[in-house]
Structure 1
């Protein structure tokens, strides 16, 4: 049988995931993966440098698929940051659910320590960049260093929240993962309620007004 010639990134990721599920282990070599899927080993290296890089890219592929779906929605672009993040979560976890067997295999052995998994490193990078893109409203201190610390803290907190949601979803046994949907809605809304800076800004503005009036009266 002739070898497959038109091999894409997505093909290799699918081959890799299928191999893991069929053999209940990762391929030991690129040769094993190529032989099992009838393509030349060199085709692999046109897209990835190692099997480990494929493993990491699986989760960024879920992320990229999520963003592609969201960007096709006209409503999504008009959403505020809270509803954009909610839309992201629901769509991302639909992607995870469609590939639940692989995701559980990849993460379950370390489900109590997801943060340290190297295979999620690339996902963290693209996800925290997405959080920055949302431009979630924070109190601006007008000191660059403090603003940077706030932004970094926001991204780390958002990443931790995603990891906790993934862990909850992995343990969820409810029909259609309804409890995960509830968890997502409550956790995201609570996070934004805590971050709601409008009342604090009004208080700061009121304090500035009182201070200014007091100076003028004196």
Structure 2
């Protein structure tokens, strides 16, 4: 894709997000969206087959921007799997923070679950691929009987991702410090499970969740 085409595609994405936030709803049709933005439909269809595909692309861009930032750090590739995952989460939520209004709307409570999860289908695939690589790296020095299947554990990693995303959306603490704590504790727990030493971190994470979610009931 040429630089000009990348700019055209980005302009469509930005217009989509702006339209959504300004009108409190997603565009209803490609025709109306293009008319509102003085854009020819053929320009839209050059990059996207549907409005739903734009939604997916937005989440893809959040992921790609995060990975691009991480790879600028020369130490990232040499880091341990646990540190890579921590770095990813901290960077990813910083990227989301720049687009928090859109994220909160896109994953609004009143949206149907299938609609919400549909727009995450692409990032789910990308994140699970990343998680699988981390799992494979973690398996390298383990005997075969202690190695963990990437397919199963990457799915567990996606569940963790979804949990942290929901936690961040509901977090009202200053500078989202509670989300930072949730990231650290959940990643520690995940890797303790991966290393077959889960008890202490499970208890610690359980206490954290109880304090944050149930102490005010």
With the shorter chain as reference, the TM-score category is: 0.7 to 0.9
CA change 1:80–1:94 in 2 (3 A) is same
Q: 1: distance between equivalents of 2:58 and 2:97?
A: 14
CA displacement at 1:197 relative to structure 2:
5.5
The number of residue pairs the alignment matches comes to: 190
The list of structure 1 runs, each at least 4 consecutive aligned residues, that deviate by more than 3 angstroms after superposition, is 110-116, 138-142
Structure 1 residues 69-218: aligned runs within 5 Å: 69-109=69-109, 117-134=117-134, 135-138=136-139, 141=144, 150-196=149-195
CA displacement at 1:65 relative to structure 2:
0.5
| Conserved 8 A contact 1:104-1:170 | yes
Partner of 2:60: 60
CA change 1:114–1:186 in 2 (3 A) is farther
CA change 1:111–1:70 in 2 (3 A) is farther
TM-score by length of 1: 0.79
Q: 1: distance between equivalents of 2:105 and 2:161?
A: 18
Q: 2: distance between equivalents of 1:111 and 1:156?
A: 24
CA displacement at 1:42 relative to structure 2:
0.8
Q: Give the structure, 1 or 2, with the largest relative contact order (CA under 8 Å, sep 6 or more).
A: 1
TM-score by length of 2: 0.79
Greater C-alpha radius of gyration: 1
**What RMSD, in angstroms, separates the aligned Cα atoms of the two structures?**
2.5
Residue deviations 1:90-136 (CA, integer Å, cap 9, x gap): 01001111111110101122689589711111111000011122234
